[in-house]
Structures are given as C-alpha cells and as structure tokens.
Structure 1
Amino acid sequence: MLDILKVIILGIVEGITEWLPVSSTGHLILVGDLLKPSMSDAFMEMFNVVIQLGAIMAVVVIYFHKLNPFSPKKTEKQKLLTWQMWIKVLIASVPAGIVGVLFDDILDKLFYKSVPIAVMLIVYGVLFIVVENRNKHTRPSVTKISELSIQMLLIIGVFQMLALIPGTSRSGATIVGALLIGVSREVAAEFTFFLAIPAMFGASFLKLIKFGFHFTGAEFGLLILGCVVSFGLSVIAIKFLMGYIKKHDFKVFGYYRIVLGGLILATSLITKVIA
C-alpha cells in the first residue's frame, strides 16, 4: 500500500514537471530519493523514464486532430502540412536519437546524481532569464511551425540532445533553443510537445529493452498506475502552460530552477558535512 502511494506521488510529479520547463527527470530522481520506494534501483531507473508514456499520451489526446494526417475533417492542404510537420519533428529528433542510443549508459552513470542535476537546473534557469530579457523588445521571426527551416530544426534538435543530462529539462532545453533563434513562445512550446513524442517513446523503449521486460505482477501494476496518474496531471499541465505563456514569459520558471538548484546544492553540502 505504501509503494502505491509513493508511485501516485511520482506520477503526479511526472505529470506536472514533464511539460513545465523545470526537469521532470531531475524532480523524479530527487523525489524518489526522498520517498525511497522498495523497488530495485534498476526498476526505478526504468520507471522514471517509462512513466513518461503516460505524459506523452496526454499530448496525443489533446492534439490528436492537429497530429493526425488522415483526419477526414482536414483539407488536402492541411493533410500535407501535417505530414510536413511530422517530417520536421523527425529531423529535429535526429541529434538526441543518435546520442541517446550511443551514450545512454554513460550519461546515466555520470549525471544521475544530485549535484549535476542542481547545476543544470541553475544553468538553464539563468538561460531562461537571459534569453527572455534579450527577447523582451524583439518580435519573433517564426510564428508557425511551418516556418521552421531545416537549420532551425537541427539547432532545436541539438538543444533537445543536451537535455539527455538530467536536470536540464527536455522541454526547457528545446524551448530555450527555439527562443534563441527567434521562435515565438507558443510555437516553441507546441513544437516541444510534438518533439517529445518520438523522443519519449524511443527512450522508454530503450529502457524497457535494457530492463528486459522482467516485471513481477506488482511492478507492472505500479508502472501502469504511474502512467495513468502522469497522464491525468499532464493534461492539466499542458493546458496551464499554453494558457500561461499567452500572457507571461518563461522567467518565472528560470527563477524556480535557480532556487531549486541552490537548495539541492546546499542540502548536498550539508549532508556531506554531517557525514
């Protein structure tokens, strides 16, 4: 019963933080360390990635019409634009896909720790504030996904690749990258949602293969529960974010990241001194 409650809490954390640019993986690792579920470390490492499937299904449900190139409600031109959008998503997914497959184990070993997470939270928090201040009096040059060039897609893809380091935030990194090259906040956020579909499905599949699909009945049940909870909270988080950025910038998330990163570093230092 206690593990069920802990998984529900982790599902809530994933659903809220996956789409806000504050690092869902970083939050899951940190909250998991506090809750200390009784599952094995190998299972929890896989769980923290695969639970994102629930979150990504929220994107599919909310944007199903926009993502569906076969919709009978679309004109032929709209269907063509949908296919073009998917091609753009795949192009931008290439950098993270290559690095994720080749260096997943190395990245896990080096960066799945409190201090690297805290550092990346702070670094990208500062970046959000700097980029938003720079863009304050600048009109975005890209206000539609269809206006994204191949060069822009690859730049956004490189920023998504950097998010393989925990604490960076996949959505945070890709949004920062998009803002830097003149993409509007709304398009940056929406394209980030779509870009997450192949990235998160691919990452989940890779983790499942490495774990070996060797679940006990209880573990499988907890994994499904986490996905369901993260789905429900993701729907709320996505709608909140899209409404929020129509009237506000991303700086509040930058300040949050800096404060959280500072607290983690302070806690880590105190723990070492006490030990």
Structure 2
Amino acid sequence: MDWFYAIIYGIVEGITEFLPISSTGHLIVAGNLMGVPWPKEIKDTFEVVIQGGAILAVLAYYWRDFAGQARVIGRDQPTQRLWLGVVVACIPAVILGLLFADTIKANLFRPSVVAWALIVGGVLMWLIESRKAIPAVHDLKQIGVGRSFLIGAVQCLAILWPGFSRSASSILGGMLMGLDRPTATKFSFYLGIPTLGGAALIDFIKSRDLLAQIGLVNVVLGAAVSFGVAYLAIGWLLRFVSTNNFKGFAVYRVVVGVLILLLVGAGRLPNGGL
C-alpha cells in the first residue's frame, strides 16, 4: 500500500501547495485519516520532500520567464533587484527553519494545531480582503528589496505554525505591502523555489536512509504526482486571482478548521492535542 499512500500524498500536495490553504496541514490530516502506518518521522519527512515536485512544477510553468531573465540578469537592474529580493525574502525562513524545524515537526505537526492555524489564517485573509486599499505594485520588478524582506518575514508564520500556509502568508504579506493579487501570487511562486526547494533537498539528504524504509521509488512517485497536479493548480490559481478575491478560501479554511476540531474532539481523528 505504500505506493497508494504516495500517490494520495502527491495529489494532496500538488493541489494545496500553492493554494492559500496549507499543504502541510492537509497532508498531516490526510495521513491521519488514511491511517498511514509509517512512523511519524517518516511521514513528516515524506511530506516535506515531495514538495520538491511542486517546486519543479513552478520551474516548468515559468521556464520561459526564467530563461529570459537569465539572459539579461547580468545587465538588467530591475531583474537583478527582483532576484535579490527573492534571496533576501528567504533569509528569515532559512534562519528559523535551521533553528526550529526539527522541534516544530516533533511537536506541532498535529491536526489540532493545523485546525487553529487554518481558522486564524482564514479570519486574517477575510479581514485583509475587506480593506479598501488600492494596490500600488502591479509588476514583480516593482516590488523592491525592502518589500521583499517584509513579505519573507510574514512568510515565517507558516514556518512557526504548521497549517497557516506558506502561500497564504506570502500572498497576504504581499497584499499588505501593496501588491495586487496576481503579483502577490506570482511572487509567492518565485519565493517558494528557494524556500521549499531548499527544505525538500535538506530533508532528503538528512533522511534518505529513513525514506528508504518505504522505498525511494515511492518517494519519487509522490514527487512526480505532486509535480503534475501542481502544474495544473498553478495555472488555475493564476486565472482565478485575475478576476476573484481570496474570501472563498478564507471561508474554506475556517470550515475545514472547525471540522478538524470536531473530528479530533469526537476521537475520529487521532493525534489531537491543543
């Protein structure tokens, strides 16, 4: 059944990684609902490693943009500022990840923690979408290094609180910094490349012997499924945000969070806690 679990994990990861609803949270809950028999440390590591497939989907989706930027980055200052901003935005997450990732995985990867993160994030999303602010930034190259750093700082909510969602925190951070929805969403994709790609690579290197217990073929299978589904999800989300706000996602987060708490309280979902 390991191959079956790998496929389901890949589907869930691919759908949820770039939507502002928390891939980590959905993976934790999905694993518990399926009763995946893997040890907790293997499940937690697998969930992080298959994010690499979703990151490859971003590279594939935007390969023409990246190729064009690579050709001019040596002489084009706006492109240089864009990628300097991406690097700077990653610094807070890298520091917190290196310091606290193992502790957070050991203590906070639980459905009840995820539920509260979904609810709180959903409320914040609704409030931010209800503002009357007029976006000032409509292009990635207008963001600047200062704004990028602040967006990266807000992204750390997802590092410290599993279930908050990296994409939600970076998109909401971008909107708070004056980015319009499409630009904030696209910057979130860019920011995910080093943030998630680095985390997936580090976890794989550190825990490849652990993952070998379920078969590296299954790891590749989960990442491959994640890649395909994430590629479709990226295109859908970009079309969605061009004409819609995020209030529907806010409602979804609150409803799912409450449902998880009810399941935990009724003893139907194991590993509850807070």
Name the TM-score, length of structure 2 as normaliser: 0.91
Query: Conserved in 1, the CA contact under 8 Å of 2:81 and 2:144?
Result: no
Matched, 1:32 2:31: yes
Structure-2 change in CA distance of 1:70 and 1:169 (3 Å) = closer
Alignment of 1:120-139 (within 5 A): 120-135=117-132, 138-139=133-134
Query: Conserved in 1, the CA contact under 8 Å of 2:92 and 2:153?
Result: yes
2:178 to 175, 178, 182: 182
Q: Deviations over 1:172-207 (max 9, x none)?
A: 011111111211001100000000011012211232
Matched, 1:192 2:188: yes
Alignment of 1:132-211 (within 5 A): 132-135=129-132, 138-164=133-159, 165-211=161-207
Q: Which residue of 2 aligns with 1:41?
A: 40
Name the TM-score, length of structure 1 as normaliser: 0.91
- The alignment partner of 1:163 has SS state of helix
The separation in 1 between residues aligned to 2:5 and 2:248, in whole angstroms, is 28
Q: Which amino acid aligns with 1:35?
A: M
The separation in 2 between residues aligned to 1:3 and 1:150, in whole angstroms, is 44
- The alignment partner of 1:115 has SS state of helix
Q: Deviations over 1:128-176 (max 9, x none)?
A: 11111114xx320111112213331121011111111211000001111
Gaps of 5+ in 1: none
1:85 to 77, 82, 85: 82
Query: Conserved in 2, the CA contact under 8 Å of 1:65 and 1:71?
Result: no
* Cα deviation, residue 69, structure 1: 5.4
The separation in 1 between residues aligned to 2:51 and 2:20, in whole angstroms, is 15
Gaps of 5+ in 2: none
Q: Which residue of 2 aligns with 1:108?
A: 105
Structure-2 change in CA distance of 1:141 and 1:6 (3 Å) = same
Matched, 1:221 2:217: yes
The separation in 1 between residues aligned to 2:223 and 2:197, in whole angstroms, is 13
Q: Deviations over 1:6-65 (max 9, x none)?
A: 211111000000010000000001001111233332221110000000000010011112
The separation in 1 between residues aligned to 2:247 and 2:81, in whole angstroms, is 32
- The alignment partner of 1:271 has SS state of coil
- The alignment partner of 1:134 has SS state of coil
* Cα deviation, residue 113, structure 1: 1.0
Q: Compare 200-209 and 254-263 and name the one that shifted more.
A: 200-209
Q: Compare 174-183 and 20-29 and name the one that shifted more.
A: 174-183
Q: Which amino acid aligns with 2:253?
A: R
Q: Which amino acid aligns with 2:99?
A: L
Structure-2 change in CA distance of 1:86 and 1:213 (3 Å) = farther
Q: Which amino acid aligns with 2:47?
A: N
Q: Which amino acid aligns with 1:52?
A: Q
Q: Which residue of 2 aligns with 1:52?
A: 51
Q: Quote the RMSD (CA, aligned, Å).
A: 2.2
Query: Conserved in 1, the CA contact under 8 Å of 2:79 and 2:141?
Result: no
Q: Which amino acid aligns with 1:95?
A: P
